[in-house]
Chain A
Amino acid sequence: MSEVEMAVIKPEMMKSYIWLQTADGAIQQVEQEVAMFCPLICHEVIHKGMGSSKNYAISLPQRVNPAMLSLILDYCRFHQVPGRSNKERKSFDEKFIRMDTKRLCELTSAADSLQLKPLVDLTSRALARIIEGKSPEEIREIFHLPDDLTEVSGACGNCVCLASQFPYVYNFNIDYILQEEKLEPLKNTTDDPRIRLLNRLYAKKRKELKEREKLKNVEVEEERVDERSVDDLLSFINGKERDSKVIKSSKNKKKHRRKKDQPKNTCSNEATKTHKQESNGLNLVCLSAEVGYKFRPDLGESSNVQNVEDDIFVRKVDFEDVDVDDEIDPALKEKIDREVEDFARRLNSDWPERMQEILSLGQDMRPLHHSINGNGTITKYAK
């Protein structure tokens, strides 16, 4: 019988099939309704007219190997049936993702390349659950990732020292962040006039302190390399005045609001006060201690030390005051040029504005940023 005759007698036998080709060259046909569940395949069929025969098989993305295709089609075959309940679907999903992590990663990637969002979400969530509650070492092992955070980028002996001696220093925990500058001490970037200026400022400050201390006949402390970030230095130079202004204004406001003081007599007031701030018995203990603790502040000499110190830091910095005082070895110069450029870029204070610009162009557009590959090279990537 010819195909046409077959179709007349048993129409249901003539299901439509879509032809798919995986990157390894293998070609297979898949029931239309199943394959069309994948947006990418759907697009190819509808907008490009592909997939109707072996010669016009749809080439699937490289990330979809035959094994992954098979899994994805199982998923599609189940979910494309309209009558299923949510409970059924959920149950299927839970069983479906039970596989080893390697396959799960492959599947996530394959589903992503076929734009099958529900499966991408399902597998991504599963991967997220694998990651949760694990230590970095455990995660590294599961996903076969390099332990390259403790490697040093750049010629910087200090970094290695830091990383090995103080493992938690290298913990990028938000509660205790080690910013990138810590890895690049100031002396690497003497080309930048601002850094040189700051170094000079520090030298000046040290000198003044030493002089003052000489007058007081105190033993001189050994000079230490200042490891503070340049940003902090810049911000305190520029920010100190504002901070003191803020302090003043808030203090004035509080002058006539001495609420938090000595205990009053009425009990309910105290009860209100004591637990108003989630107190524990220590509050009462404070107050009972205060009764006996009649220590009056003995101010002694009202020292001006603090004020002098303020002067040093608040003094306006004149950027024109820079002169070439550091002789740099020409051989070194080339080597540190790249680091200086990088460092200067980060010091550049219009960076936040640039970010704002980019972000305001639209939520969809992602900023360009650098990614450091495992082999140490830097590549830019943007969405």
Chain B
Amino acid sequence: MLKKMSYSSFPEDLLEHVFSFVQSDKDRNAISLVCKSWYEIERWCRKRIFVGNCYAVSPRVVIRRFPDVRSVELKGKPHFADFNLVPEGWGGYVYPWIVAMASGYPWLEEIRLKRMVVTDESLELIAKSFKNFKVLVLSSCEGFSTHGLAAIAANCKNLRELDLRESEVEDLSGNWLSHFPDSCTSLVSLNIACLGSEVNFSALERLVGRCPNLRTLRLNRAVPLDKLANLLCRAPQLVELGTGTYSADLRSDVYSNLAGAFSGCKELKGLSGFWDVVPAYLPAAYSVCSGLTSLNLSYATIQSPDLIKLVSRCPNLQCLWVLDYIEDGGLEALAASCKDLRELRVFPSEPFGAEPNVSLTEQGLVCVSEGCPKLESVLYFCRRMSNDALVTIARNRPNMIRFRLCIIEPHTPDYLTLQPLDVGFGAIVEHCKDLQRLSLSGLLTDRVFEYIGTYAKKLEMLSVAFAGESDLGLHHVLSGCESLRKLEIRDCPFGDKALLANAAKLETMRSLWMSSCNVSFKACKLLGQKMPRLNVEVIDERGPPGSRPESFHVEKLYIYRTVAGPRFDMPDFVWIMDEDSALRLS
């Protein structure tokens, strides 16, 4: 390479120095594809890797290609696992990765996992293998207990982050926290919000007190409100706080202590927690509101008037997660006060009720789309929607990047015209040219998919349920969406034809999930045979698909590209279609 350059030679270590200023995965990947020497240089100095599907590549191959990695991020189960669509035991085990990295990356500092099965064994191995371990983030993971956490606490001398966001942890003992040695003062972030039972509070107090760099502290529900003030006083430098339960008997001393503690937190930008909120205690937090950029009230069962009081005090709010108790009125107030809002998530308080319990309709969302010019990310649960509203939202917010609309009842049409919502979603994809993520709901025909295939050129992730009429719908998406990486579908009448016709497309995507659709076992086999670089997983708890006629529709189908070949850690309800399985199973 050096000889080809028409000007003075550029030493490789200097090139590496240039690369050190290029950190995004996309750019590093581009660098690695430029030419052989850049590929070589880049791979030796890559410090951080992200593997979006832990089965796409084997850890051995990763370690061999990138020998000096310090930070690894892995994802396991498909997104629909969050909705209990992926049966337990499907896979996503991190242990083989930890074993490989224990010998391959002794200097590993950071592990971030999402939707993976993490055992105590894995945690213990992490604790003893990586001398400089700093960051552990377990997002929606499961399979471990507080014993594993104790091992991490006890052994990771330089631990900076321990974040268990939304993981399922077997709570064997609250004493695991005491395993942090007195010499541990390096914590920057601690998130234990998902833990069910009490942690040893005095250990927590001492830990918080001796970590001067602590910026993020998210407590679990078991931490009582009257103890919160103590913690805040020990950590006035906090930037993000997740309270424990926000309820206590009304006592003026508790209130004033709390208010005083909050007012001491000059750096606070994010608040969450708020389980079991007693509205009378909310004003204790008012002093921090003007600085807040992020507010997560998704556990706060308070009504609209209290929500409005709180939200209208937060003019710098950028991100709000809230229950639908906020109602249209509250969203109107939000639109008026929070001009910097970027992200809004409205969750349902009573999703299984037959009748709406709150006055939250499409109007609230329209209002926010009008009043908040920076709004780009929306997750909205509601019970009715109209094409007009969607068109308005689309026109208001062409800067929308993530739009996830969840009309609670499947097949709900436009409540004004009783028409499908094709036109409305069509407007969304047409106007929002940079849309990366979209979730559909309501009554939808193949037409909406035609719009999506035509306009959604930057779309990377699409979630579809109870929509469409025929294979044509799926075909539009697979043939039209150039940037598509993840597609998840449930209960749609999509079958073999679209899938087989667009088989090549599947190799350009991370994964495709289809459950309760019309894909036959025969098509799955065919796909598995013809596409060696895909793992075609048939997930069927009714028994071996080979025991039924080939035309039978498979229960669930998960297809992902991989260079690791078929995996061998499947449970007995998962079959991988490849050239050999055809022999085995037919």
Is there contact, CB below 8 Å, between B4 and A353? no
Is there contact, CB below 8 Å, between B351 and A284? yes
Q: How far is the CA of A257 from the CA of B143 in the complex (A)?
A: 10
Which residues A55-93 have CB closer than 8 A to chain B?
62-63, 65
Q: Of B39, B103, B168, which one neighbours A356 at CB under 8 angstroms?
A: B103
Interface string of B9-27 (1 = CB under 8 A from A): 1111110011111101101
Given contacts A282-B83, A282-B465, contact A243 B22 (CB under 8 A): no
Residues of B within 8 A of A284 (CB): 348, 351-352, 381, 406, 408
Is there contact, CB below 8 Å, between B166 and A276? yes
Is there contact, CB below 8 Å, between B143 and A253? yes
A128 CB-CB contact with B under 8 Å: yes
Residues of B within 8 A of A287 (CB): 351-352
Q: How far is the CA of A129 from the CA of B19 in the complex (A)?
A: 10
A305 CB-CB contact with B under 8 Å: yes
B444 to chain A, nearest CB (A): 13
Q: Which stretch, B57-65, B202-210, B235-243, touches the partner chain A?
A: B57-65
B119 CB-CB contact with A under 8 Å: yes
Residues of A within 8 A of B61 (CB): 177, 179, 229, 231
B347 CB-CB contact with A under 8 Å: yes
A31 CB-CB contact with B under 8 Å: no
Which residues B521-545 have CB closer than 8 A to chain A?
529, 532-533, 541-544
Q: How far is the CA of A303 from the CA of B547 in the complex (A)?
A: 8
Q: Is the interface of A mostly helix, strand, loop or mixed?
A: helix
Which of B58, B349, B405, B546 has the most C-beta atoms of chain A within 10 angstroms of its own C-beta? B58
Q: Which stretch, A4-12, A35-43, A192-200, A233-241, touches the partner chain B?
A: A233-241
A367 CB-CB contact with B under 8 Å: yes
Q: How far is the CA of A253 from the CA of B146 in the complex (A)?
A: 12
B365 to chain A, nearest CB (A): 13
Residues of A within 8 A of B44 (CB): 367, 369
A317 CB-CB contact with B under 8 Å: no
Question: Could you list 29 A-B pairs, sorted by A, with CB under 8 Å?
Answer: A106-B7, A110-B8, A120-B17, A127-B18, A133-B27, A149-B33, A173-B29, A174-B62, A175-B51, A175-B510, A213-B586, A227-B532, A231-B60, A235-B60, A242-B99, A250-B119, A254-B143, A271-B323, A271-B349, A275-B345, A280-B404, A281-B407, A285-B406, A285-B491, A289-B466, A352-B103, A371-B37, A373-B1, A381-B12
Additional A-B contact list (13), CB under 8 Å, known A134-B27, A270-B351, A284-B348: A135-B30, A139-B30, A170-B33, A175-B50, A231-B60, A231-B61, A281-B406, A281-B465, A282-B490, A285-B408, A288-B408, A352-B104, A355-B104
Chain B residues near A (Cβ < 8 Å): 1-14, 17-22, 24-25, 27, 29-41, 44, 49-53, 56-58, 60-68, 80, 82-85, 88-89, 93, 95-96, 99, 103-104, 106-107, 117, 119, 121, 140, 142-143, 145, 166, 168, 170, 298-299, 301, 323, 345, 347-353, 379, 381, 404-410, 439, 441, 463, 465-466, 490-491, 507-508, 510, 516, 529, 532-533, 541-544, 546-548, 561-565, 568-569, 571-572, 575, 579-580, 582-586
